């Protein structure tokens, strides 16, 4: 793509710098996979003209054989990223039987390499003004418009003024004097730089954690489709197994890393696949299903009829290096405990190794040491917001806590073959994304491996520890307003690429203000704004940690939410303008934490899910504070995830979780329970094809709305409370993470976007 090397394109609110290979929306950097970026460049070069599919394939995938679906996926990704322009037009339009066309005005700046000339802007595409020759010139752009800020050093042009003189007037000894002075200046500069370097080095060695030399690592993108999950290396490092998500199905692929060729080993299925693990001998692939995650299945690496080898599994799992045992976590709701389980690979010999009683628990997959004698697993720390890692002896069950940094979340880990280090994907307390770390064992010495804006999840190592595969991921969630619930009238309200707008909180005030969560400065805060996106006001700014899941009282006076500012999630109340913030639950006895919240119809009581106290999980407390009391008694089940109260004050909806996972249909479902607010009746149960457990009641309390979706698309449904079949209301081409209807039923606000994920190979580890 070298022909673009000196080009800078402007279209809508976007600027694309071909030399730096970056895309900007205003001052915000937009990250695109390489092939998606190349696709956009190709369309921009011929903006206003049709680019055939064959031309796109030949330009973007030169000398590489790929299917046409790769191109379609790139176009889909670009349309989701760019959205629409100010006039509501798609940036990329499909020309039937011909190809694609970039359909909005594009301006091309002057040659970036020409420092002496004033930058100019050339309009290379404008449907309203393009001449017969196809190009017009516009006024010169201001220099700021063609100089996006990047993290790399930018060239600086310095202007010097000299006295007018001719060559004859310059004496030879003056030249030597200039050389001497220049040389002396360089020596002084070098000496000063070395002193500063030594000072910084000594200071860093004293005050900063030991850091791995990031520059020595080698990164290689193994996929660029944006829909790859659970990427797993074979022990010899030659094969990559991964799950690809389609719109409504998922499939498993195995790719030969050296050649790049891939084959599908498990067919597209609405049941989905997750938790891929390749056996130590490289012959078998183990997985769970998205629709029925309670079972572990075994198949050949290159595909065969799956065989079930374990049941009642509540976590990702790992196989011992000697290939004899499987380790996973099981939740025992009857005992209110988290149990580390071991079993043989044929399903026999299952037994408990270690139990943690609530509110403590294990988190994620337990991972075997190279000699198969112990496991390491993430564990909750009592009365603290961060996690620790613990080792557990595989024969005795003895647990030992490791010294670890203040990691807020630990998503995956793997043991290096020498047994002296662990590779961990974890998020620090004050950081925005999960990164890769190397943790010494058992001394806890930590070295950072990545340090960027992308999130890293999942980790898989080759048997010799020389190759590491991770999943690079980001979630983009933006707010849209749909007047009367009409998708054709949808208007985008927020545009942040990394703010996760509305992802963990979305509600309306009675007078029509939108309350939503947004992520910034490494914390999640609550904001209010008008329905046109204006007058954005922070409500919990500088409160610390995360503030989520707001609920507004019917009179609009109070806003109740969940906050972890004290180190553990508890209920808080504030005035609707953010003033007079007050903690409602305290957990002095360290028996539970708040997870979800709902309000009574008159606004005097707060219902909430209390995790860790006992199987009695729904409690209530006066809105002015006081003692909390249990509401619901559930037999062989518990509640988690969310809570929603009906407008008439009669019902509470929650996620109903039985003591054991149950087999489900090909459509993944979540079980929703509906209880009377006095707790004196058995719950009504609904199995719904939901991605996230979020519902909203209808104004008359005879039904509730929910968002459904299998993988990359979503729809909005209405479920009658009497058990009649649900009614589909809307279809969305992307994911819906959250939604809320206004009190008058005239406006629907949704948090929609995408989850983008690819496999990254890292070599040359320290």
* Tens digit of each residue's pLDDT (9 = 90 or more) over 58-108: 888 876 666 666 777 788 778 878 877 776 677 888 887 788 889 889 988
Say which residue, 372 or 30, is predicted with more confidence. 372
* Secondary structure of residue 677 in the 3-state scheme: coil
pLDDT of residue 21: 85
For 74, counting Cβ atoms within 10 Å of its Cβ (0-12 exposed, 13-18 middle, 19+ buried), the class is: buried
- Beta-sheet strand order (sheet of 50-52): 50-52, 99-102, 92-95
Q: For residue 136, is pLDDT > 50?
A: no
How remote is the C-alpha of 731 from its chain's centroid? 23
Find the mean pLDDT for residues 133-161.
29
Instruction: Return the percent helix, strand and coil in the chain, to nearest 5.
Output: 10, 45, 45
**225 vs 721, which has greater pLDDT?**
721
Confidence of residue 144 (pLDDT cuts 50, 70, 90): very low
Query: Which residues are bridge partners to 507 per DSSP?
Result: 515
Domain range 221-311, CATH architecture: Beta Barrel (2.40)
Q: Which residues are bridge partners to 12 per DSSP? A: none
743 — alpha (psi -120 to 50), left (phi > 0) or beta? alpha
Mean pLDDT of 448-453: 83
Q: What is the pLDDT of residue 385?
A: 57
Residue 118 has pLDDT above 70, yes or no: no
Question: CA of 149: how far to CAs of 146, 221, 431, 433, in Å?
Answer: 10, 25, 22, 22
Q: Higher model confidence: residue 710 or residue 303?
A: 303
Res 212: pLDDT: 42
pLDDT at 124: 53
Average pLDDT, integer, range 640-667: 77
Class (C level, CATH) for 584-732: mainly beta
Least confident of 54-63, 451-460, 634-643: 634-643
- What is the C-alpha separation between 140 and 286, in angstroms, rounded? 60
Average pLDDT over residues 203-212: 41
Least confident window among 276-290, 344-358, 470-484, 655-669: 655-669
**What CATH topology corresponds to 2-146?**
Arc Repressor Mutant, subunit A (1.10.10)
Instruction: With CA atoms as reference, report the closest residue to 493 among 529, 533, 455, 457.
Output: 533
- State how far the Cα of 605 lies from the Cα of 621, in Å rounded to an integer: 6
- Per-residue model confidence as pLDDT tens digits over 341-399: 999 988 899 999 999 987 788 988 999 999 999 999 999 765 455 688 999 999 999 99
List C-alpha distances in Å: 521 to 30, 297, 430, 509, 544. Answer: 18, 42, 8, 26, 10
Looking at residues 279-290, what average pLDDT do you find? 93
Residue partners of 340: CB distance under 8 A and separation at least 6: 327, 329, 352, 353, 354, 355, 362, 366, 375, 377, 392
Tell which wins on pLDDT, 139 or 241: 241
Mean pLDDT of all residues belonging to the chain? 80
How large is the average pLDDT for residues 209-234? 79
User: Do the domains 584-732 and 221-311 match in fold?
Assistant: no
> Rounded to whole angstroms, how far apart are CA atoms 614 and 619?
11
Mean pLDDT on 703-714: 85
pLDDT at 1 over 50: no
- What is the mean pLDDT of the segment spanning 256-265? 91
H/E element holding 57?
helix 53-60
- 204 — pLDDT class (breaks 50, 70, 90): very low
Q: Which residues contact 149 (CB under 8 A, 6 or more apart)?
A: 27
pLDDT at 401: 92
Which contacts (CB < 8 Å, 24+ apart) does range 211-215 have? 211/447, 211/448, 212/438, 212/447, 212/448, 212/449, 212/766, 213/766, 214/448, 214/449, 214/450, 214/451
The pLDDT score that the predictor gives to residue 467 is 95
Task: Name which of 170-179, 207-216, 298-307, 351-360 the model is least confident about.
Answer: 170-179
Q: Are residues 60 and 39 in contact, defined by beta-carbon separation less than 8 angstroms?
A: yes
β-strand pairing of 121-125 with 136-137? antiparallel
- Determine which helix (DSSP H) or strand (DSSP E) holds 205, and give its type and residue range: helix 172-207
Distance, in Å, from the CA atom of 654 to the CA atom of 673, rounded to the nearest integer, reads: 5
Query: Per-residue pLDDT averaged across 504-514, rounded?
Result: 95
pLDDT classification of 199: cutoffs 50, 70, 90:
very low
Q: What is the mean pLDDT of residues 165-172?
A: 36
Residue 246 has a pLDDT of 78
Name the band, by pLDDT with cuts 50, 70 and 90, for residue 633: low
Range with lowest mean pLDDT among 465-469, 519-523, 742-746, 750-754: 519-523
Q: What is the pLDDT of residue 119?
A: 37
Average confidence (pLDDT) over 675-700: 87
- pLDDT computed for residue 414 by the predictor: 94
For the domain 316-465, what is the CATH superfamily, name and number?
A: TolB, C-terminal domain (2.120.10.30)
Determine the Cα–Cα distance for residues 375 and 398; give it in Å rounded to an integer: 10
Inform me whether the pLDDT recorded for 191 exceeds 80.
no
Q: Which helix (H) or strand (E) holds 284?
A: strand 284-288
Pairing type for strands 651-658 and 637-645 reads antiparallel
Tens digits of per-residue pLDDT, 452-504?
778 898 999 999 999 999 999 888 899 999 999 998 999 999 987 777 899 99
CA dist 700 and 741 (Å) reads 13
Inform me whether the pLDDT recorded for 116 exceeds 70. no
What mean pLDDT is predicted for residues 27-39? 84
Q: Report strand pairing: 435-440 vs 714-720.
A: unpaired
Sheet holding 570-575, edge to edge: 547-552, 558-563, 570-575, 582-583
Identify which has the larger pLDDT, 536 or 541: 536
Instruction: Find the mean pLDDT for residues 241-257.
Output: 89
At residue 622 the predicted structure's pLDDT band, cuts being 50, 70 and 90, is: very high
The residues spanned by each domain of the chain are 2-146, 221-311, 316-465, 584-732
**What percentage of the chain has pLDDT greater than the value 70?**
78
**Which of 32-46, 377-391, 653-667 ranks highest by mean pLDDT?**
32-46
pLDDT-based confidence at residue 618 (cuts at 50, 70, 90): confident
Question: Average pLDDT of 517-536?
Answer: 89
pLDDT over 60 (residue 183): no
């Amino acid at each position: 793509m070298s022909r673009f090397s000196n080009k800078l394109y402007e279209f809508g609110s976007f600027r694309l710098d071909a030399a730096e290979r970056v895309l900007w929306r205003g001052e915000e950097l937009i990250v695109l996979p390489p092939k998606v970026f190349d696709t956009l460049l190709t369309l921009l070069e011929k903006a206003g003209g049709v680019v055939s599919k064959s031309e796109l394939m030949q330009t973007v995938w030169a000398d590489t054989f790929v299917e046409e679906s790769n191109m379609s996926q790139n176009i889909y990704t670009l349309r989701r990223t760019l959205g629409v322009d100010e006039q509501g037009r798609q940036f990329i339009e499909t020309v039937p039987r011909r190809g694609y066309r970039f359909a909005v005005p594009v301006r091309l700046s002057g040659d970036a390499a020409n420092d002496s000339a004033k930058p100019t802007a050339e309009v290379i595409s404008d449907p309203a003004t393009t001449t017969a020759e196809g190009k017009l010139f516009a006024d010169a752009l201001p220099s700021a418009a063609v100089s996006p800020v990047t993290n790399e050093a930018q060239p600086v042009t310095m202007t010097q003024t000299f006295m007018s003189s001719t060559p004859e007037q310059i004496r030879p000894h003056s030249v030597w004097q200039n050389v001497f002075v220049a040389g002396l200046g360089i020596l002084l500069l070098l000496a000063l730089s070395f002193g500063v370097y030594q000072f910084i080095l000594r200071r860093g060695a004293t005050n900063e954690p030991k850091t791995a030399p990031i520059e020595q690592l080698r990164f290689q993108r193994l996929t660029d489709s944006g829909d790859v999950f659970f990427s797993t290396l074979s022990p010899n490092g030659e094969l990559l197994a991964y799950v690809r998500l389609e719109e409504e199905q998922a499939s498993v692929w195995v790719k030969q890393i050296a050649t790049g060729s891939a084959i599908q080993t498990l067919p597209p299925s609405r049941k989905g696949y997750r938790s891929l693990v390749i056996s130590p001998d490289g012959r078998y692939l183990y997985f769970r299903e998205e629709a029925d995650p309670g079972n572990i299945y075994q198949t050949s690496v290159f595909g065969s009829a799956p065989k079930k080898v374990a049941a009642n599994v509540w976590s990702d799992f790992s196989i011992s290096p000697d290939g004899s045992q499987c380790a996973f976590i099981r939740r025992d709701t009857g005992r209110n405990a988290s149990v580390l389980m071991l079993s043989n690979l044929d399903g026999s010999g299952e037994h408990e190794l270690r139990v943690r009683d609530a509110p403590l628990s294990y988190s994620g997959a337990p991972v075997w040491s190279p000699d198969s004698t112990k496991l390491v697993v993430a564990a909750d720390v009592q009365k603290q917001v961060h996690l620790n890692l613990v080792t557990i002896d595989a024969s005795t069950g003895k647990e030992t806590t490791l010294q670890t940094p203040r990691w807020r979340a630990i998503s995956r880990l793997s043991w290096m073959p020498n047994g002296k280090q662990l590779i961990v994907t974890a998020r620090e307390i004050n950081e925005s994304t999960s990164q890769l770390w190397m943790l010494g064992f058992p001394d806890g010495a930590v070295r950072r491996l990545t340090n960027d804006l992308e999130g890293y999840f999942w980790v898989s190592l080759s048997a010799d520890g020389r190759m590491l595969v991770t999943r690079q991921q980001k979630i983009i969630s933006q707010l849209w307003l749909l007047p009367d619930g009409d998708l054709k009238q949808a208007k985008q309200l927020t545009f942040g690429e990394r703010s996760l707008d509305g992802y963990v909180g979305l509600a309306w005030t009675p007078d029509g203000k939108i309350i939503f969560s947004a992520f910034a400065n490494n914390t999640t805060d609550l904001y209010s704004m008008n329905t046109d996106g204006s007058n954005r006001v922070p409500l919990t700014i500088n409160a610390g940690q995360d503030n989520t899941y707001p609920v507004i009282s019917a009179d609009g006076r109070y806003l109740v939410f969940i906050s972890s500012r004290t180190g553990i999630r508890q209920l808080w109340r504030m005035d609707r303008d953010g003033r007079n913030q007050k903690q409602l639950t305290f957990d002095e006895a360290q028996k539970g934490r708040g997870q979800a919240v709902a309000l009574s119809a008159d606004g005097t009581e707060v219902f909430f899910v209390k995790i860790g106290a006992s199987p009695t999980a729904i409690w209530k407390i006066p809105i002015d504070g006081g003692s909390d009391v249990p509401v619901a008694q559930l037999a062989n089940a518990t509640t988690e995830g969310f809570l929603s109260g009906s407008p008439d004050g009669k019902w509470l909806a929650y996620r109903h979780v039985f003591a054991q996972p149950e087999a489900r249909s090909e459509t993944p479902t979540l079980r929703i329970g509906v209880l009377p607010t006095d707790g004196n009746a058995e719950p009504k149960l609904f199995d719904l094809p939901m991605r996230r457990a979020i519902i909203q009641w209808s104004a008359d309390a005879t039904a509730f709305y929910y968002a459904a979706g299998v993988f990359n698309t979503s729809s909005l449904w209405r479920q009658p409370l009497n058990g009649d079949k649900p009614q589909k209301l809307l279809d969305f081409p992307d994911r819906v993470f959250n939604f809320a209807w206004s009190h008058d039923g005239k406006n629907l606000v949704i948090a929609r976007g995408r989850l983008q994920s690819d496999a990254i190979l890292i070599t040359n580890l320290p």
